[in-house]
């Protein structure tokens, strides 16, 4: 879902507080990220895919995270 805020101040306040969602079990599956343009998304895609591959290999070899 994409949400458009009216002010930059509101965006900054939300971005500062988003870490509190990780501590809330009921909302742990909610992620908040800044909107990115195509260039930013492409730049982020490489490390994200590397992390996914690393996770896939770890689980396929019987490893796990605690």
Residues 29 and 52 in one domain: no
Residues 22 and 10 in one domain: yes
Residues 29 and 40 in one domain: no
Higher-confidence residue of 3 and 65: namely 3
Alpha helices (H) in 1-66, listed in sequence order? 8-17, 20-23, 38-60
Predicted TM-score (pTM) of the model is 0.50
pLDDT in tens, 2-57: 888 899 999 999 889 888 887 888 887 888 888 889 999 899 899 989 999 988 88
Residues 17 and 46 in one domain: no
Residues 41 and 66 in one domain: yes
Kindly state the tokens that stand for 60.
């396929």
Q: The domain containing residue 62 runs over which residues?
A: 36-66
Kindly state the tokens that stand for 58.
């770890």
> Degrees (nearest 5) of the Cα angle 47, 17, 44?
15
Kindly state the tokens that stand for 15.
């971005």
Residues 7 and 30 in one domain: yes
pLDDT for 66 beyond 80 = no
């Amino acid at each position: 879902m994409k949400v458009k805020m009216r002010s930059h101040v509101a965006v900054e306040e939300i971005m500062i507080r988003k870490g509190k969602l990780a501590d809330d079990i009921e909302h742990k599956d909610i992620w908040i990220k800044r909107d990115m343009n195509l260039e930013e998304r492409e730049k982020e895609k490489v490390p994200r895919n590397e992390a996914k591959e690393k996770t896939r290999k770890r689980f396929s070899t019987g490893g796990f995270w605690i």
